[in-house]
Amino acid sequence: MIVRREEDTRLAVEGGTPVREKLLPYGRQTIDEDDVAAVVEVLRSDWLTTGPKVGEFEEAFAQRVGAPHAVAFSSGTAALHGAIFAADVGPGDEVVTSPLTFCSTANTVLFQGGTPVFADISQDTMCLEPRLAERALTRHSRALLPVDYAGHAADLGAFRELADRRGLILIEDACHSLGASFEDGPVGSIADLTVFSFHPVKHITTGEGGMVTTGDPELARRMRMFRSHGIDSDPRQRQRTGRWHYEMTELGLNYRLPDLMCALGLSQLRKLGANIARRREIAAAYGERLADIPELRLPGVRPGVDPAWHLYAVRVDGIERETVFRALRAEGIGVNVHYVPVHLHPYYRRRFGYAGGEFPVAEAAYGSLISLPMFHGMTDDDVDDVVQAVRKVVKRYTGRAA
């Protein structure tokens, strides 16, 4: 923490001394020497890609989340695309999902020729609301695609029941929620297909990377084929059997996650428990130390859910969000906004005719959201700086102690 003169209480954006000189990002990776050694070991091996570490990582990951099968991909977006492919989504099919998500959730439906259909979110968790999702279903609906916003599991019980009753595939976008649980079941073991991301700001990282878990061996087979150009065997299998012949049976892509990255993932996976525990400590500290500020609406947590806290997204009330955003950035706090609702992006406006106002809860949330820094490498001093900066900014714009 920076030592400041007591009399300088001006905001940094107004010429005062910032809480921090160096920006604290909203998220970042943590890499240690074990991680480096794991990657170096693969660099010195015979396989840099499509080798033994892929299967090792998949097996360890499946065991960690309680799923029979796990299939690795080159990114979270690629993993989403693989899940949509495995679910046999195609032209004329609709997939109901949340507008408050990163655009890849819906984009991957479009890649397969399907149509993403949005429904509004719940006020408390900002996850897809099951009642509204059901209203959005039509005879063309193929799948439900709830998003675990910020690391809080969607209402998986309600979505599981709805999917089973209507004969739909349940695909969970769990890119925010590795390590979370829902009613004592780990995320990754409940939906037909559960998608994870290993981007550097997530709970573990492979640089870029993703994974899909499933209990269905046929879905797993389809995803493995899809990630390798739609070819029915991989180079390692062919080398083992001494065969050269291969056949492309479906239209796929090169979405393979190399051994290098899988080695990093294996090393990182061993730290997942500690990483999640630290994120929960930070969330608890924020919840305790910011709860008395009426201008902030803190994240809600439903009974039976233990979030993984990818983000700590607060909603600002009574102060313009952009004003708070700029002021906190000037104080050295790297706040961010998650997300611009997908239907408000220019591409979706042009293609589907969205004008705004279609999903009022999601749009209102977007207008007030600010993500505070949340990553397991944060120190207690980092947390102190965030709290101090938030209170300093609120005090300035409300004219009272915060």
pLDDT tens across 313-329, in order?
999 999 999 999 999 99
* Model pLDDT, residue 236: 66
Residue extent(s) of CATH 3.40.640.10 domains in the chain = 33-269
Question: 259-269 vs 33-43: helix axis angle to the nearest 10?
Answer: 150
Q: What is the pLDDT of residues 274-291, one digit of tens each?
A: 999 999 999 999 999 999
Six token digits for residue 213: 């878990």
CATH of domain 12-28+272-398: 3.90.1150.10
What top-level class would CATH report for the domain 33-269?
alpha beta
Question: Could you tell me what percent of the chain has a pLDDT over 90?
Answer: 93
Quick check: 5 pLDDT over 60? no
pLDDT in tens, 53-62: 999 999 999 9
Catalytic residue, chosen from 53, 202, 271, 395, is 202
220-276 pLDDT tens trace: 999 999 999 999 877 767 667 777 788 999 999 999 999 999 999 999 999 999 999
Residue 271 is among the residues annotated as catalytic for this protein: no
Q: Tell me the whole-structure pTM to 2 decimals.
A: 0.95
Confidence at residue 242, expressed as pLDDT on a 0 to 100 scale: 73
| C-beta neighbour count of 165 within 10 angstroms | 9
Residue 184 has pLDDT above 50, yes or no: yes
In the predicted structure, residue 6 carries a pLDDT above the cut 60: no
Which residues touch 400 (CB under 8 Å, ≥6 apart)?
none
Average pLDDT over residues 177-195: 97
- CATH 3.90.1150.10 in the chain is located at 12-28+272-398
Sheet with 210-214, strands from edge to edge, namely 69-73, 210-214, 193-197, 169-173, 141-145, 94-97, 115-118
- Quick: pLDDT tens for 23-69: 999 999 999 999 999 999 999 999 999 999 999 999 999 999 999 99
Residue 19 falls in which region: left (phi positive, over 0), alpha (psi -120 to 50) or beta: alpha
Handedness of CA 331, 335, 340, 341 (dihedral sign): negative
